[in-house]
Amino acid sequence: MILVIDVGNTNIVAGVYEDSSLLTYWRLQTDKDRTSDEFGITLINLFKYEKIDSSKISAVIISSVVPPIMYSLEHAARKYFNHEPMVVGPGVKTGLNIRTDNPKEVGADRIVNAVAAVEIYGPPLIIVDFGTATTFCVVNSKKDYLGGSICPGIKISTEALYQKAAKLPRIELMKPETVICKNTVSSMQSGIIYGYVGQVDYIVCRMKEELCEDNIKVVATGGLARLIASESKQIEYTNSLLTLEGLRVIYEKNR
């Protein structure tokens, strides 16, 4: 069994694979101040809750976009699972050719998502990740990672409305039945949800034009992927656990 950990700006998602099967996964809040013991004990307790023997973990692999958390997390892997963790970064085999101006700048999560999408759906691809930021990544038919776009995430945009406009309330992210709404809350939900659908579809269309290839698949991932994908005309596949699958694939390529 292997333990895969994806560290995002808002959440940490950890999962346990036995061969190619995901046995279970957990979502934790990203806390830069948490110690290695707090990370380790939390994970051990989650293993116990799921009745999984943590001593059977044979490897740990981590991708992270939060550098300050890595010392504690890596130390937790050594102390509580007795393994030196594999960290996704320069020097790790991914099967992709990173064709950007500075490959070291590309977020590990974006590379991991691309690896998983290529493995599951096959290139060429556009991957849309609805996280703290919304990222668009493009992989051509030669498995070249070409880069993409980064936009403010849906929750960031919603929170900005609440904080910067005195009379606008904090709202729940849900899809209203109509675009023309008769109250403030529904109007905000309409603008956020349908506005984001329009943004996603427009950017994906422009990317398809620039890529100039046939049969380009569009895959969405992240916590709010299904909400947007249900209205999008461009998103074909939704896979909320794409990053965990990518970590498993990268581990297999490097072990």
Residues belonging to the active site: 109
Q: Among candidates 50, 37, 35, 41, which has minimal Cα distance to 1?
A: 50
Tokens of 155: 């929750």
Q: How far is CA 96 from the centre of its chain?
A: 18
Q: Among candidates 94, 106, 201, 209, which has minimal Cα distance to 148?
A: 106
Bond before 68 cis per omega within 30 degrees: no
Q: Among candidates 57, 64, 61, which has minimal Cα distance to 12?
A: 64
Tokens of 96: 């992709």
Tokens of 111: 């590379």
- Cα–Cα distance, 117 to 207 (Å, whole number): 17
Tokens of 34: 């948490």
- Cα–Cα distance, 248 to 156 (Å, whole number): 30
- Cα–Cα distance, 169 to 185 (Å, whole number): 7
